[in-house]
């Protein structure tokens, strides 16, 4: 090979190497790697003690939380966890906490009606928990009972006798029932037809009768003149001659008879009242703007 050819070969090799180096320097992956190394070096210079973890990425599992995890395991399995089981349960808690934080960071709690409802419910529970109530005394309970007497008043109770005449059995059931009423008022014996619940019902309320015969029958029966045969009254079964006797008048019980029930209702009512006041104070901070519909 001549001297000129040798020099030309060297120039071609140099050109090839330069082209390869240029392409390598233009690679995006190289730029990313160099940038990462630069950031790593800067972080090392600013934090010579080693890498620092952001507080938002620290999951604290304190002794109280460990006790809670142990208690949940024992309640579920009926025994204390082994060390390995406790480690797994703690790790599961940490995983759940991490996923929860990531979900919040991604805004997954926004626009979800179930999550929204749950958070509102938790806020209401928080306001209820702030209410410290003293044990109500007798006068407080009596006053509360009188203010809500419809919730506690015991209804009248009756004894009902009737003679039943079914629809679609021979002559008109209404006509036969009318005849039975007249005979019974005259002191005659009338048997009527068999009824699935029997001919006499004792210690029943108007509501009980409504459940058996229907509300119209029950209302007419308890407002009829007491202890005499009347009717006929119509039910979903047919027609009836009836006699109703009041055995116990409606009345309010003594506080001592239902103290526990009244106390629970009073506590619930007071918590609702306090909760409404706290929410009202909270709403003072907000301005409500409502856009009119189209």
SS (H, E, C) the chain: CCHHHHHHHHHHHHHHHHHHHHHHHCCHHHHHHHHHHHHHHHHHHHCCCCCCCCHHHCCCCCHHHHHHHHHHHHHHHCCCCCHHHHHHHHHHHHHHHHHHHHHHHCCCCCCCHHHHHHHHHHHHHHHHHCCCCCCCCHHHHHHHHHHCHHHHCECCEEEEEEEEEECCCCCCHHHHHHHHHHHHHCCCCCCCECCCCCCEEEEECHHHHHHHHCHHHHHHHHCCCCCCCEEEEECCCEEEEEEEEEEECCECCCHHHCHHHHHHHHHHHHHHHHHHHHHHHHHCCCCCCCCCCC
Taking the CA atoms of 219, 225, 228 and 229 in sequence, report the sign of the dihedral they define: negative
- Which residue would you say has higher pLDDT here, 49 or 223? 223
**How would you list the strands of the sheet with 200-204, edge to edge?**
200-204, 157-166, 238-248, 230-234
Q: What percent of the chain has pLDDT over 70?
A: 77
pLDDT at 238 > cutoff 70: yes
- In this prediction, residue 170 has a pLDDT band, given cuts at 50, 70 and 90, of low
Q: What is the pLDDT of residue 131?
A: 62
CA distance 98 to 101: 5
Backbone angles phi, psi at 287, to 5 degrees: -110, 130
Given a cut of 50, whether residue 202 has pLDDT beyond it is: yes
Q: What's the pLDDT at 8?
A: 52
Of 31-40, 69-78, 113-122, 196-205, which range is least confident? Answer: 31-40
Q: Which residue has the tokens 């009242």?
A: 273
pLDDT for the residue 56: 66
Q: Which residue has the higher pLDDT, 207 or 23?
A: 207
Q: Is the pLDDT of residue 224 over 60?
A: yes
pLDDT tier at 240, thresholds 50, 70, 90: very high
C-alpha closest to that of 104 among 120, 115, 89? 115
Name the nearest CA neighbour of 239 among 271, 216, 267, 269: 216
* Residue 45 φ then ψ, to 5°: -70, -40
Residue 8 CA to chain centroid, in angstroms?
Answer: 88
For residues 46 and 272, what is the distance between their CA atoms, to the nearest angstrom? 55
Cβ contact 138:255 at 8 Å = yes
Give residue-wise pLDDT tens across range 117-154: 888 888 777 766 666 677 888 889 999 999 998 889 88
* Backbone CA torsion sign across 77, 83, 85, 86: positive
How many CA atoms within 13 Å lie on the side-chain side of 143? 5
Q: Among 158, 156, 152, 157, which residue's Cα sits nearest to residue 252?
A: 152
pLDDT at residue 82, as a whole number: 92
The confidence band for 201, taking pLDDT boundaries of 50, 70 and 90, is confident
Burial of 181 (0-12, 13-18, 19+ CB in 10 A): buried
More confident residue, 100 or 53: 100
Omega before residue 53 within 30° of 0, cis: no
pLDDT in tens, 266-293: 988 888 888 888 888 888 888 777 777 6
Q: Taking the complete model, does pTM exceed 0.75, yes or no?
A: no
**Residue that wins the pLDDT comparison between 67 and 293:** 67
Q: What pLDDT was estimated at residue 173?
A: 85
Mean of per-residue pLDDT scores for the chain: 78
Is residue 60 pLDDT above 50, yes or no? Answer: yes
């Amino acid at each position: 090979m001549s001297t000129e050819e040798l020099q030309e070969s060297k120039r071609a090799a140099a050109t090839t190497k330069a082209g390869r180096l240029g392409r390598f320097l233009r690679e995006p992956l190289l730029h990313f790697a160099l940038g990462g190394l630069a950031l790593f070096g800067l972080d090392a210079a600013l934090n010579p003690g080693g890498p620092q973890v952001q507080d938002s990425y620290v999951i604290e599992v304190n002794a109280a939380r460990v006790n809670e995890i142990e208690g949940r395991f024992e309640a579920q399995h009926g025994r204390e966890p082994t060390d390995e089981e406790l480690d797994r349960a703690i790790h599961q808690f940490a995983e759940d906490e991490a996923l929860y934080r990531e979900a919040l960071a991604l805004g997954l709690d926004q626009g979800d009606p179930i999550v929204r409802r749950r958070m509102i419910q938790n806020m209401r529970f928080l306001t209820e928990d702030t209410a410290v109530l003293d044990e109500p005394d007798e006068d407080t309970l009596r006053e509360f009972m009188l203010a809500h007497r419809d919730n506690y008043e015991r209804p009248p109770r009756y004894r009902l006798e009737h003679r039943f005449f079914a629809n679609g059995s021979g002559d008109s059931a209404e006509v036969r029932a009318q005849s039975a009423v007249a005979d019974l008022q005259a002191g005659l014996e009338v048997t009527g037809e068999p009824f699935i619940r029997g001919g006499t019902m004792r210690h029943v309320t108007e509501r009980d009768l409504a459940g058996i015969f229907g509300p119209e029958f029950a209302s007419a029966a308890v407002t009829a003149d007491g202890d005499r045969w009347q009717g006929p009254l119509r039910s979903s079964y047919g027609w009836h001659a009836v006699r109703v006797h009041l055995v116990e008048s409606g009345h309010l019980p003594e506080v001592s008879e239902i103290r526990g029930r009244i106390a629970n209702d009073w506590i619930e009512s007071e918590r609702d009242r306090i909760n409404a006041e706290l929410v009202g104070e909270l709403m003072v901070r907000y301005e409500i703007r409502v856009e009119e519909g189209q």
